[in-house]
Amino acid sequence: MTCTVRGEKAVCVCSGGLDSTVAATIAAREGYELHILHASYGQIAEEREIEAVKRISEELGAKELVFVDLGFLGAFGGSALTDRSIEIPIDERVELDGTSTPDTWVPCRNLVLLAVASAYAESIGASTVFVGFNAEEAQSYPDNTPTFLERFNDVLEHAVASFTDPITVRAPLIGYFKREIVRKGVEVGAPLGLTWSCYLSGDLHCGRCEACQHRKRGFREAEVEDVTVYERK
């Protein structure tokens, strides 16, 4: 991959999962100076995600790793990822088919997160924000769609200081399904083995939640060895 932006800064929103890690790796391979941003919003897997992001940041040679507290999103409730009274789907075949939004939806999370990431980018003079939005999750999560990305970038043109160049949010995986993301990760040398996808906070990936099911299927369909150790295959 040709490095055409050597030294230019990019903010990479990174959860510690496959998608955002591959997106951040693409930014690194393109020559951006990485500034990784991780958000805690009361998610059950918060501790495991933070551990993963620290390792990924080091592996990618990030210039800076910043943690932001969006705990108010969790306090609002309404999501199985933050509200302990709502059960995370386990051992269910969860398909993102566009007909409903899963219980794991966190209301307006990406809208809030991109606003924070854009503020961070403007403050450090970064030109680009990288995110892991993808076609698979866009089927049922509206804040992963090309339309959402396009509209947010339109808003950004009016949301940053007039004397700066507009910040652009890029989603290099916007048209990819999980198997394609895995293949792209292998292609760019992303540290897939360091990522954490599970919605739970155990020592190992549970292998049973929605995120683990999609992760396993992605590796299987990509015909790439999955080095993840699961509690249950």
Detail the residues annotated as belonging to a binding site: 14-24, 198, 206, 209, 212
CA–CA separation, 183 and 152 (whole Å): 28
| Alpha helix ranges (H) inside 77-209 | 109-124, 135-138, 146-156, 178-188
Cα–Cα distance list, 24 to 61, 92, 128, 167, 170 (Å): 11, 30, 11, 17, 11
160 half-sphere exposure, CB direction, 13 A CA radius: 27
d(CA 202, CA 107): 25
* Residue 171 vs residues 48, 95, 111, 141: alpha-carbon distances, Å: 24, 22, 14, 15
Which residues carry a binding-site annotation for Zn(2+)?
198, 206, 209, 212
Annotated binding site for ATP: 14-24
Q: Which residue has 């903010």 as its token pair?
A: 11
d(CA 31, CA 168): 16
Q: For residue 129, report the phi and psi dihedrals to the nearest 5 degrees.
A: -115, 125
